Chain A
């Protein structure tokens, strides 16, 4: 069973609309992240959260807003969608301070297509 659940798995949205990508992790980790993988580009770091607090934001646009209602949740709200936002969005988590380093575990991704 997947330990990091992302919903929806696939999503088609209209330009200008707003969508929320859901992520829940059941690994007991205290840090969560969002990454994006666009066509022909490497995976890109977007946000990191630790104990529900924003630690790092590498996303230039304020249209992307993470939301953490619980320790094991980190949703991603995207407003005023553009075709360039089309990508697969991956949620990840890790246990900070673990003796084996900061291994990241990824969800299966939410593939977003904006038309």
Chain B
């Protein structure tokens, strides 16, 4: 089965609305990361967040490792936030760089 499940699969927002993206893991994990994939395909690291809450600008990530879940909150969405948001977990030995990715949440923000 799928080890990393992301929801929703897609999301459409009007500019200014907030979004909450979810990531659930079916196995124990050491850490997790959130990435943003631009429409043309390039990847940007958003958060390395093994536990707790981290914030960067309008983005907030909260991970509860014991409950095997993480969320990404986007506040006051902008058109340029459109793209795919990917979460990934790292398991096994720490710092292996071996990530298991979810399918992603496709976000579209309209004016």
Contact = CB atoms under 8 A, between A and B. Distances in A.
A binds B: yes
Interface of A: 31, 33, 35, 42-45, 48, 55-56, 58, 88, 90, 92, 94, 96-97, 100-109, 111
Contact of B97 (A44, A100, A104, A107): A104
A101 B97 contact: no
A95 B55 CA distance: 22
Contacts of A33: 97-98
Interface string B85-110: 01010100011111111111000000
B33 to A, nearest CB: 7
A43 B42 contact: no
A101 B48 CA distance: 7
Interface string B1-41: 00010000000000000000000000000010101000001
A109 to B, nearest CB: 5
Interface of B: 4, 31, 33, 35, 41-45, 48, 50, 86, 88, 90, 94-104
A106 B42 CA distance: 8
A92 B102 CA distance: 17
Contacts of B95: 94, 96-97, 101-102
A100 B41 contact: no
B48 A108 contact: no
A92 B41 contact: no
Interface of B is mostly: strand
B41 A56 contact: no
Contact of A103 (B45, B96, B102): B45
B101 A43 contact: yes
B48 A103 contact: yes
A45 B33 CA distance: 14
B48 to A, nearest CB: 4
B101 A56 contact: no
Contacts of B41: 88, 108-109, 111
Nearest to A45: B98
B101 A106 contact: no
Contacts of B86: 42-43
